Amino acid sequence: MKNLRLKSARAAKDLSQDDLAKICGVSRQTISAIEKGDYNPTIRLCIAICKALDKTLDELFWES
């Protein structure tokens, strides 16, 4: 399942996939794969992404 909330939050912060990847210590391809729904990140990476985007885990990763 695509993570459009992550993509939207990243865009709202005016960050590229590469920018967010550098902040979180992963590759751009990893961020791309998460947004496409092709990769299930670790909880540690989820938390790093949330901190970088000033969002909660629920806001970015909880499926309704």
Mean pLDDT by 10 residues, the chain (64 residues): 95 98 98 97 98 97 84
Q: According to the model, what pLDDT value does residue 48 have? A: 98
Q: According to the model, what pLDDT value does residue 64 have? A: 72
Q: According to the model, what pLDDT value does residue 41 have? A: 96
* DSSP class of 26: S
3-state secondary structure of 14: coil
Q: According to the model, what pLDDT value does residue 47 have? A: 98
Q: According to the model, what pLDDT value does residue 44 have? A: 97
Q: What are phi and psi of 25, to 5 degrees?
A: 75, 35
Structural domain containing residue 21: 4-61
Domain count, the chain: 1
- Tell me how far apart the 2 most distant CA atoms of the chain are, in Å: 29
- Which CATH number belongs to the domain containing residue 38 in this structure? 1.10.260.40
